[in-house]
Amino acid sequence: MAAKTNPGRFFEDYAVGQVIDHAVPRTVQTGERALYHMLYPARHALYSSDLFAQACGLPASPLDDMIAFHVVFGKTVPDISLNAVANLGYAEGRWLSPVWPGDTLRSVSEVIGVKENSNGKTGVVWVRTKGVNQHGAVVLEYVRWVMVRKRDAASDAPETVVPELSQVIPAEQLVIPKGLDFTAYDFTLAGEPHRWGDYEVGEQIDHVDGVTVEEAEHMMATRLWQNTAKVHFDTTARPDGSRLIYGGHVISMARALSFNGLANAQMVVGLNGGAHANPCLAGDTVRAWSEVLDKAETGAPGVGALRLRLVATKGGAPFSLKGADGKYLPDVLLDLDYWALVPL
Amino acid sequence: MAAKTNPGRFFEDYAVGQVIDHAVPRTVQTGERALYHMLYPARHALYSSDLFAQACGLPASPLDDMIAFHVVFGKTVPDISLNAVANLGYAEGRWLSPVWPGDTLRSVSEVIGVKENSNGKTGVVWVRTKGVNQHGAVVLEYVRWVMVRKRDAASDAPETVVPELSQVIPAEQLVIPKGLDFTAYDFTLAGEPHRWGDYEVGEQIDHVDGVTVEEAEHMMATRLWQNTAKVHFDTTARPDGSRLIYGGHVISMARALSFNGLANAQMVVGLNGGAHANPCLAGDTVRAWSEVLDKAETGAPGVGALRLRLVATKGGAPFSLKGADGKYLPDVLLDLDYWALVPL
Amino acid sequence: MAAKTNPGRFFEDYAVGQVIDHAVPRTVQTGERALYHMLYPARHALYSSDLFAQACGLPASPLDDMIAFHVVFGKTVPDISLNAVANLGYAEGRWLSPVWPGDTLRSVSEVIGVKENSNGKTGVVWVRTKGVNQHGAVVLEYVRWVMVRKRDAASDAPETVVPELSQVIPAEQLVIPKGLDFTAYDFTLAGEPHRWGDYEVGEQIDHVDGVTVEEAEHMMATRLWQNTAKVHFDTTARPDGSRLIYGGHVISMARALSFNGLANAQMVVGLNGGAHANPCLAGDTVRAWSEVLDKAETGAPGVGALRLRLVATKGGAPFSLKGADGKYLPDVLLDLDYWALVPL
């Protein structure tokens, strides 16, 4: 009679080439959309209105791209990050197909790198995760790497494999949702007049608004994505009695706040990288600023792409990111690098 | 390269006759109905059960009338009340058509009055707002007036225009939802036996129950309606570090509490006026009482109308409203004057 | 002109044989499913994925069995437990048909027992409650008994009737949902490999995870089921200023936590008994453990049944339940005895 509960995987349990089918598929519906609007100040029109989405060539309003991300990510937690010490980074993230109400998503990860740390107690594991819908289509893929505890410090180190990852997804590899057409885009209903051509590389935007976060909110958000990491829910799981806010909660909050200045950065199609710079706790007031890192055209009618840095903070002046030592300032929560689609 | 964030409009930016198309249309679904039941102790049967609504002649259960109000109102905030000092009043509010799951709503406002205050720093703006669905039908209209800051105290005052507004919507101007028929109304399933004829003008009802409100709840409610006013979310936005609760949250809470004694006041069809008498903060325990102000018949089968005063409080004895000085008592949060439809 | 608010029923108002049609029918939808996932760490695959449910022979994913329970229970509160001193027990609970999105539920109770207490101030009332859907089918039935205040200590005691109730529902009386077939059950997607045959009578499982509960969460959950008992919402309703958490919130939390070790205990079909051992308050960290009490086969293909004890705690070591005095230990919140369906 074996123990029935899941102890999570340790560093020794991962090997390059291993494929992990994550559990608990999830059918998402319009209820999840309503909840997203309740949990975040999300106002991008394409995810709020079926009519607006239809005027952009889509059959209806898809679920927010971050709902897709959170659902796919959440399923990986019991297999990838239950014993993780830290979530180290993201790369090569692409949204390949919108997620519609009624879709059923599951997640699959392949281990693409392992590297034991010199302390012999932990190692880094790289996985490429795919979110798959009921038709077998991949809706989202991304790489993330985490630091994981070894079960036994005495066990042998595996052969080091560090995957080569793109720093930035080339614009021509971005996948534009089928049918998307911004030529009849309604800037009034979208909320701002700024077109792709109005943004310049290097431009910085202070999104101005702030939201003070509460324990009940971040726990509900994290649970909604079936993310079960103890540190988000259990005040007895950390020595200081605090609950660590799921990094994805900060991503969604910052992305929603970025509406004010980037209302037309409608769809997220690429995740070039990201760092959770400092922990976020209840009581923090989250603000955001953005920087335009690059611009690209796409083949789709009226559709341009902006590469954006999205920074979430819990204080400090906008546009400050790192100290003289090259480290993130203590008030910086998130530094995300993504591609969004914007009307030309 | 212009600043991209929305600074909001100042008093000088409004002129009588101006029409403002508000941004971010919204498709509402059954998810919003579930959330409404989660956020408020809402139990009016017609908004809870498709079968009950069908037995009253409707095709299905509509979304709560206050969902319609909040969604339409929320869209106006970035254009009307971002720099508002105070929300001064409501008048001539009418629900013209039920909102159904799947409907997409947008809001349009016309400026119908402006009046600079004698201090030269602020002015009052009156707008008539309409909520419009995907068929172009107006589902709701109301007038509200707000006090707004001037951008520049030195700018000239506009010609004063104060609109003439009805104190009360005459009963014959109320719009009864198409098909509504209360002749087969099931009082047992509705929860109370009291008919229209059982209520007398002047009668006062203490709704007895109280709800202590939490930060997480009011922020989630307010966000759900895409209302972005900073004071509701950001503890750094007010000198005392508190978050002001959206007045509409108090309206919905009081209306839901009024079930206990007014379970058969099913549909809200008119808003004669309203005042947010004092601010509501987290930790307050909200209670409600009502007074029957008037009664009217309608042409619809089995359908009568009650004009009701709905008062929300955070303490004090029921039925006390104003002091000897004619001002609202400090424990009064809301004084609302509305028309509801009740079975004869 | 009678008082319009509901004072609730007192002990004298119940008589054996009396049938009470409870108010406020409710149409449940996929929004309620999304909310359940937000409020509880619910991960049983059959209630998360339409595809998974279809692979188990069902037409789609039903709503969680506890949603059915809470909705049916909530409707009884204004008639049964508004003046209740204590919720004393449950028995003979059976889920007779899954609840699907779009179903409309109402509740009916029959009084099956009354017994005045020797103090002359209170009495015990037994009711058998049925949840009925729009087709008139009973989806759920259970017996509960509560201690209720007398209106007048001087009133005569009724003839004592104590119903004979089964300690345990015999396995052959459990109703297996039509079409259920676990022969093609996907253990990987379900999250754990343990089959019916892997569990032994007497086996105990520590579900490991803990969730610290917040005021906003339990109030939203309780409201969602239209449960209006004051003690859950109003800090002025109890002398200590605390809000008592609805016992059903603890049931759902513990059941969801039991996924870790009982991921394949998919469907709840019987409730043999249950006790809310101690009050749960915001700030408590809820944990759970289970014990296998019995095992049974069912006629359905690939489907076995486990009788499980589910214990929720707010501290203490797992597997400790009662003290030397036979009373529940102070950290025990819930002791539930139920039947679940598990793949063979």
Residues of B in contact with C228 (CB under 8 A): 41, 43, 209, 260
Among candidates C1, C23, C233 on the partner chain, residue whose Cβ is nearest the Cβ of B212: C233
Say whether both A144 and A22 belong to one domain: yes
SS3 call for B22: coil
Tell me which residue has tokens 């989806």: C139
ipTM entry: 0.96
Residues of A in contact with C285 (CB under 8 A): 234-236
pLDDT for residue A2: 59
Residue B192: inside a domain: yes
**Total length of chain A:** 344
Query: How many domains, in total, are found in chain B?
Result: 2
Residues of A in contact with B217 (CB under 8 A): 216
| Residue C30 near chain B (CB below 8 Å) | yes
pLDDT for residue B268: 98
| Residue C25 near chain B (CB below 8 Å) | yes
| Residue B285 near chain C (CB below 8 Å) | yes
pLDDT for residue C2: 58
SS3 call for C25: coil
* Count of CB atoms situated within 10 Å of the CB of B154: 7
Residue B131 in tokens: 């909520």
Residue A190 in tokens: 């979208």
Residue in A closest to B30 by C-alpha? A31
Question: Could you tell me which of B11, B142, B126 has the C-alpha nearest to residue B72?
Answer: B142
| Residue A31 near chain C (CB below 8 Å) | yes
- How far apart (Å, rounded) are the C-alpha atoms in residues A212 and A283? 6
Instruction: Give φ, ψ of C21 to 5 degrees.
Output: -85, 115
Report how far Cα A230 is from the mean position of its chain's Cα atoms.
20
Say whether both A194 and A338 belong to one domain: yes
Residue A142: inside a domain: yes
Question: Could you tell me which of B259, B271, B269, B255 has the C-alpha nearest to residue B300?
Answer: B269
Residues of B in contact with C4 (CB under 8 A): 192, 194, 198, 205, 261-262
Say whether both A118 and A202 belong to one domain: no
Say whether both A136 and A238 belong to one domain: no
Distance (Å) of CA B295 to CA A158, B190, B262, B264: 82, 21, 14, 14
Strands (E) across chain C are located at 19-21, 26-27, 84-95, 104-116, 122-132, 138-149, 204-206, 211-212, 267-276, 285-297, 303-313, 332-343
pLDDT tens, position by position, C64-111? 999 999 999 999 999 998 878 888 999 999 999 999 999 999 999 999
pLDDT for residue A189: 98
CB contact under 8 A, A260 and B5: yes
pLDDT < 70 positions in chain B: 1-2
| Residue B145 near chain C (CB below 8 Å) | no
Q: Is the Cβ–Cβ distance between B246 and B221 less than 8 Å?
A: yes
- How far apart (Å, rounded) are the C-alpha atoms in residues A312 and A295? 22
- Note down the domain range covering B156: 1-28+63-165
pLDDT tens, position by position, C103-145? 999 999 999 999 999 999 999 999 999 999 999 999 999 999 9
What b-and-e string marks burial along C213-246, b requiring 16 or more CB atoms within 10 Å of the CB? bbbbbbbbbbbbbbbbbbebbbbebeeeeebbbb
Residue B108: inside a domain: yes
Contacting A residues, span 241-270, partner chain B, CB-CB under 8 Å: 260-263
- How far apart (Å, rounded) are the C-alpha atoms in residues A39 and A32? 10
Q: What percentage of chain B reaches a pLDDT higher than 90?
A: 93
Residues of B in contact with A206 (CB under 8 A): 5
Residue B245 in tokens: 């609760």
pLDDT tens, position by position, C286-330? 999 999 999 999 999 999 999 999 999 999 999 999 999 999 999
Per-position DSSP letters for A99-160, written without gaps between them: --TT-EEEEEEEEEEEEE-TTSSEEEEEEEEEEE-TTS-EEEEEEEEEEEE-S-TTSPPPPP
pLDDT for residue C159: 97
Residue type, B34: A
pLDDT for residue C83: 79
- How far apart (Å, rounded) are the C-alpha atoms in residues B260 and B268? 16
What b-and-e string marks burial along B230-265, b requiring 16 or more CB atoms within 10 Å of the CB? bebbbbebeeeeebbbbbbbbbbbbbbbbbbbbbbb
Burial class for C87, CB neighbours closer than 10 Å (0-12, 13-18, 19+): buried
CB contact under 8 A, A29 and B34: no
Q: Which of A6, A9, A22, A27 to mutate to test the interface with C (most CBs of C within 10 A)?
A: A27
CATH number of the domain where residue C219 is located: 3.10.129.10
pLDDT for residue B50: 98
**Total length of chain C:** 344
Residue A198: inside a domain: yes
Burial class for B40, CB neighbours closer than 10 Å (0-12, 13-18, 19+): buried
In a 13 Å sphere around the CA of C189, the CA atoms on its Cβ side amount to 21
Domain boundary among B165, B188, B211: B165
Domain boundary among A96, A120, A153: A153
CB contact under 8 A, B208 and C234: no
Q: Is the Cβ–Cβ distance between B52 and B111 less than 8 Å?
A: no
- How far apart (Å, rounded) are the C-alpha atoms in residues B207 and B199? 15
Return the axis-axis angle of helices C247-257 and C65-80, rounded to nearest 10°.
170
Say whether both B221 and B103 belong to one domain: no
CB contact under 8 A, B224 and A38: yes
Say whether both B244 and B299 belong to one domain: yes
B248 CA: distance to closest CA in chain C (Å): 18
Mean pLDDT of chain B: 96
Residues of A in contact with B237 (CB under 8 A): 210
Split at pLDDT 50, 70, 90, the class of C238 is confident
Among candidates B6, B35, B233 on the partner chain, residue whose Cβ is nearest the Cβ of A34: B35
CB contact under 8 A, A45 and B25: yes
DSSP state for residue A328 in the 8-state scheme: B
Residue C234: inside a domain: yes
pLDDT for residue A6: 82
Residue in B closest to C105 by C-alpha? B49
- How far apart (Å, rounded) are the C-alpha atoms in residues B74 and B80? 10
Q: Is the Cβ–Cβ distance between C194 and C306 less than 8 Å?
A: no
| Residue C51 near chain A (CB below 8 Å) | yes
CB contact under 8 A, C25 and B191: no
Q: Sign (positive/negative) of CA torsion B127, B131, B134, B137?
A: negative
Say whether both A148 and A191 belong to one domain: no
**Total length of chain B:** 344
Say whether both A208 and A148 belong to one domain: no
Say whether both B148 and B195 belong to one domain: no
Residue in B closest to C29 by C-alpha? B30
SS3 call for B343: strand
Tell me which residue has tokens 């009418």: B94
Q: Is the Cβ–Cβ distance between C268 and C66 less than 8 Å?
A: yes
Among candidates B226, B230, B233 on the partner chain, residue whose Cβ is nearest the Cβ of A43: B226
| Residue A25 near chain C (CB below 8 Å) | yes
Question: Could you tell me which of B73, B50, B76 has the C-alpha nearest to residue B61?
Answer: B50
Residue C272: inside a domain: yes
CB contact under 8 A, C226 and B41: yes
Residue type, A19: V
Residue B1: inside a domain: yes
| Residue C1 near chain A (CB below 8 Å) | no
C28 CA: distance to closest CA in chain B (Å): 8
Spell out the residues 6+ positions from residue C151 whose beta carbon is closer than 8 angstroms to its own. C10, C11, C12, C13
Domain boundary among B147, B165, B183: B165
Residue in B closest to A201 by C-alpha? B1
Contacting A residues, span 105-134, partner chain B, CB-CB under 8 Å: none
- Please give chain A's pLDDT, 344 residues, in tens: 558 888 889 999 999 999 999 999 999 999 999 999 999 999 999 999 999 999 999 999 999 999 999 999 999 999 998 878 888 999 999 999 999 999 999 999 999 999 999 999 999 999 999 999 999 999 999 999 999 999 999 999 999 999 999 999 999 999 999 999 999 999 999 999 999 999 999 999 999 999 999 999 999 999 999 998 889 999 998 888 899 999 999 999 999 999 999 999 999 999 999 999 999 999 999 999 999 999 999 999 999 999 999 999 999 999 999 999 999 999 999 999 999 999 99
CB contact under 8 A, A24 and C209: no
Chains that touch A (3 or more CB pairs under 8 A): B, C
Chains that touch C (3 or more CB pairs under 8 A): A, B
CB contact under 8 A, B104 and A200: no
Say whether both A284 and A324 belong to one domain: yes
Chains that touch B (3 or more CB pairs under 8 A): A, C
Contacting A residues, span 200-219, partner chain B, CB-CB under 8 Å: 200, 203, 205-212, 214-217
pLDDT for residue C90: 97
Among candidates B24, B31, B102 on the partner chain, residue whose Cβ is nearest the Cβ of A191: B24
Among candidates A5, A219, A220 on the partner chain, residue whose Cβ is nearest the Cβ of C260: A5
Residue B298: inside a domain: yes
Residue in B closest to A191 by C-alpha? B23
Say whether both B254 and B290 belong to one domain: yes
Say whether both B144 and B178 belong to one domain: no
In a 13 Å sphere around the CA of C88, the CA atoms on its Cβ side amount to 13
CB contact under 8 A, B35 and A39: no
